[in-house]
């Protein structure tokens, strides 16, 4: 089966799918652009369509064609309200968008991290191209790390991604990765500075979204995201609270039902028995890191059973389809709901 990933580069352990170019740490942005397959630009061209000139005598075009009178004449016209986006390197089409659409170039995704990697303790770990160029992303480690009860390590990251096919806004968000199982979880922050009349928005999941009718401003996004030590400390405090909260069997079942079901719908129409059963098995000892002191029998372990299921076990066409869902799609929604519900256990 074909992969969604068109090209990528990475530092450290080989990714889930075995694809990509491995780099040594601390490579410059220029090397990342080349090795991640992001050294091209998104170009635009007006939309054109092919039609026929009317017959000179005003007769029916089909009749004129069949009688041999006034042969048809094709003409190419433009539709100025729309434009085609395409790759500069291979001219492959990417999407059809309005003239108001603000393109975010592949290089802009990487340049977002230049100052952070050169002047702060950030390090790019993976970047690449999905769906032939329709989606682009880069993930950088922030340098922030913490241990839950001594051995359960989580590292902080910032993910920046965009799409040019209408499937998502340009999105920047904090993400943590649990080292023992490589699970990802968006960091739910209550911080972030809104910048007056900026069209980008900071939602309550610690995520900044810039719609494509607005110019992408990297510095504004960083300011709104509130890249800070205090934000990470707040998140780790929340995880420590979860690791101290023991859960009972009835709470496990109730939590998993709430995570995987729409509470407004009848059980018969939305019940996801396989997901619940698998997560419960992961929680009870079959998950990676499930027997660590931080996770065994705790709300933190319960949360990680969901993130492991979404990132590694959930049914998908391929592993990189699962990745796209876990970062950008329904999988990300499930993980956020799991974090929100776990938080209610320690209120």
* Residue 232: predicted pLDDT: 74
* Residue 284: predicted pLDDT: 96
Judge if pTM exceeds 0.85: no
Which tens digits make up the pLDDT trace of 175-190?
888 888 777 776 543 3
* Residue 160: predicted pLDDT: 93
Our measurement of the distance from residue 34's CA atom to the centroid of its chain's CA atoms, rounded to an integer in Å, reads 21
Q: Is 168 exposed, middle or buried (0-12, 13-18, 19+ CB in 10 A)?
A: middle
* Residue 64: predicted pLDDT: 46
* Residue 198: predicted pLDDT: 39
* Residue 267: predicted pLDDT: 47
* Residue 123: predicted pLDDT: 94
* Residue 17: predicted pLDDT: 56
Comparing CA positions, the residue from 201, 185, 190 lying closest to residue 307 is 185
Comparing CA positions, the residue from 101, 111, 109 lying closest to residue 130 is 109
Q: How far apart are CA 84 and CA 69, in angstroms?
A: 36
| Domain segments of the chain as ranges | 5-40+103-237, 43-98, 244-344
Our measurement of the distance from residue 335's CA atom to the centroid of its chain's CA atoms, rounded to an integer in Å, reads 13
* Residue 28: predicted pLDDT: 94
* Residue 199: predicted pLDDT: 44
Q: How far apart are CA 219 and CA 202, in angstroms?
A: 14
* Residue 54: predicted pLDDT: 62
- Contact between residue 342 and residue 303 where contact means Cβ atoms under 8 Å apart: yes
Write out residues in the chain with pLDDT < 50, as ranges: 1-2, 63-67, 188-204, 265-270
Q: How far apart are CA 44 and CA 38, in angstroms?
A: 17
Which tens digits make up the pLDDT trace of 206-215?
678 999 999 9
* Residue 71: predicted pLDDT: 57
> 60: how many CB neighbours lie within 10 A of its CB?
10
Q: How far apart are CA 268 and CA 273, in angstroms?
A: 11
> 344: how many CB neighbours lie within 10 A of its CB?
10
* Residue 323: predicted pLDDT: 76
- Contact between residue 56 and residue 64 where contact means Cβ atoms under 8 Å apart: no
């Amino acid at each position: 089966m074909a992969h969604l990933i068109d090209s990528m580069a990475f530092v450290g352990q080989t990714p889930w799918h075995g694809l990509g170019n491995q780099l040594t740490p601390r490579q410059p942005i220029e090397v990342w652009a080349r090795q991640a397959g992001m050294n091209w630009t998104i170009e635009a061209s007006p939309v054109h369509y092919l039609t026929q000139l009317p017959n000179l005598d005003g007769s029916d075009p089909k009749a004129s064609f069949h009688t041999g009178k006034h042969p048809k004449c094709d003409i190419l016209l433009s539709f100025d309200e729309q434009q085609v986006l395409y790759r500069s390197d291979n001219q492959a089409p990417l999407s059809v968008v309005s003239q108001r659409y603000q393109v975010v170039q592949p290089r802009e995704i990487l340049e977002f991290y230049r100052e952070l990697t050169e002047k702060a303790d950030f390090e790019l770990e993976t970047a690449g191209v999905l769906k032939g160029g329709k989606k682009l992303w880069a993930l950088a480690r922030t340098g922030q790390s913490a241990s839950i009860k001594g051995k359960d390590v989580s590292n902080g990251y910032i993910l920046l991604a965009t799409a040019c096919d209408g499937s998502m806004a340009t999105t920047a968000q904090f993400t943590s990765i649990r080292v023992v199982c490589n699970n990802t979880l968006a960091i739910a922050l209550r911080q972030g500075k809104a910048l007056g009349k900026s069209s980008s928005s900071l939602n309550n999941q610690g995520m900044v979204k810039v719609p494509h009718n607005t110019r992408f401003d990297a510095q504004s996004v960083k300011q709104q995201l509130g890249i800070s030590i205090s934000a990470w400390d707040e998140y780790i405090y929340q995880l420590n609270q979860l690791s101290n909260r023991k859960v009972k069997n009835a709470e496990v079942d109730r939590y998993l039902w709430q995570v995987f079901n729409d509470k407004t719908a009848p059980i018969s129409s939305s019940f996801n028995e396989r997901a619940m059963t698998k997560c419960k098995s992961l929680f009870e000892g079959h998950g990676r890191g499930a027997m660590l002191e931080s996770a065994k029998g705790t709300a933190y372990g319960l949360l990680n059973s969901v993130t492991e299921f979404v990132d590694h076990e959930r049914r998908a066409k391929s592993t990189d389809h699962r990745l796209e869902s876990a970062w950008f799609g329904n999988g990300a929604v499930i993980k956020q709901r799991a974090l929100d519900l776990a938080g209610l256990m320690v209120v």
